[in-house]
């Protein structure tokens, strides 16, 4: 889809890549200099097989991609093939229930991430250089969201709201499904038979209820007391 120096609005439907190259990309003529994409709904699907098969690929000259709803899915997990590829000088805005498999920020701090409103979507963030704890990685506008909304890929960090900034923050406690708990003990108290409790930090003196799966996730527990039978694994080191 090609256009130049204007705005593309997506309100619904499905746009899917069927060959090499991204669905929406400047290098294919789709997003030219100062172009803008606004997405209010619908689905954009990248090509999981082809090289550079990302869903949305913003290259030099692109203004930004603004998601107020809808989903962006697929693409290769590298460079231009990422689900959403963002270079220096471009910006991405997420609001409402907008969801993407992953946004890859290839540029420097000139690349801008904006989160607006009551953000209920879930999008993995990936950076060419992984941010250190406490690093500002974007801006917020009247945002409400949780730890599960913006995890940072290949790290144990997530994007947290700090004033008007998004800050890379260390995950602590444990998670059951998409529900995060500030301590491992709180997660164990909430866990029910069949649940998997995934650690986000090491802990001491923990009592596990019967019938759960404990995923150490690379961490450890010193002095674990089990109320009954439980299954223990480590998703970081185990080969299942």
pLDDT the model gives residue 100: 92
Cα separation, 170 vs 15, in Å, equals 36
**190 phi-psi bin (left φ>0, alpha ψ -120 to 50, beta other):** alpha
pLDDT value, residue 20: 59
What is d(CA 33, CA 201) in angstroms, rounded to the nearest whole number?
A: 45
Stated pTM of the model: 0.80
For residue 129, the tally of other CB atoms under 10 A from its CB is 9
Distance between CA atoms of residues 122 and 47, nearest Å: 21
Angle at the Cα of 9 from the Cα atoms of 96 and 63, rounded to 5 degrees: 85
The CA angle 26-18-102, to the nearest 5 degrees, is 60
Let me know: does 130 contact 105? Beta carbons within 8 Å.
no
pLDDT higher than threshold 70 for residue 230: yes
Q: What is the mean pLDDT of residues 103-125?
A: 84
Lowest mean pLDDT among 10-24, 25-39, 159-173, 197-211: 25-39
Position 28 confidence tier, pLDDT thresholds 50, 70, 90: very low
pLDDT higher than threshold 50 for residue 30: no
Mean pLDDT score, 3-16 = 79
């Amino acid at each position: 889809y090609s256009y130049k120096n204007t705005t593309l609005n997506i309100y619904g439907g499905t746009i899917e890549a069927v060959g090499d190259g991204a669905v929406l990309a400047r290098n294919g003529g789709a997003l030219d200099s100062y172009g803008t994409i606004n997405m209010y709904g619908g689905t954009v699907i990248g090509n999981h097989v082809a090289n550079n098969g990302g869903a949305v690929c913003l290259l030099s000259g692109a203004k930004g991609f603004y998601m107020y709803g809808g989903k962006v899915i697929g693409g290769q997990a590298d460079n231009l093939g990422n689900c959403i590829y963002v270079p220096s000088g471009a910006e991405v805005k997420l609001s409402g229930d907008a969801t993407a498999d992953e946004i890859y920020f290839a540029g420097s701090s000139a690349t801008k991430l904006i989160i607006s409103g009551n953000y209920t979507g879930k999008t993995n963030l990936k950076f060419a250089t992984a941010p250190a704890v406490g690093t500002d990685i974007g801006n917020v506008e009247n945002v409400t969201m949780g730890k599960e909304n913006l995890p940072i890929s290949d790290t144990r960090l997530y994007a947290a709201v700090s004033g008007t900034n998004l800050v890379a923050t260390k995950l602590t406690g444990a998670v059951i499904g998409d529900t995060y708990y500030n301590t491992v003990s709180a997660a164990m108290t909430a866990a029910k038979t069949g649940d998997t409790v995934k650690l986000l930090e090491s802990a001491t003196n923990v009592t596990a209820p019967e019938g759960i799966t404990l995923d150490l996730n690379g961490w450890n527990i010193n002095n674990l007391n089990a109320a009954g039978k439980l299954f223990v694994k480590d998703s970081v080191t185990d080969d299942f």
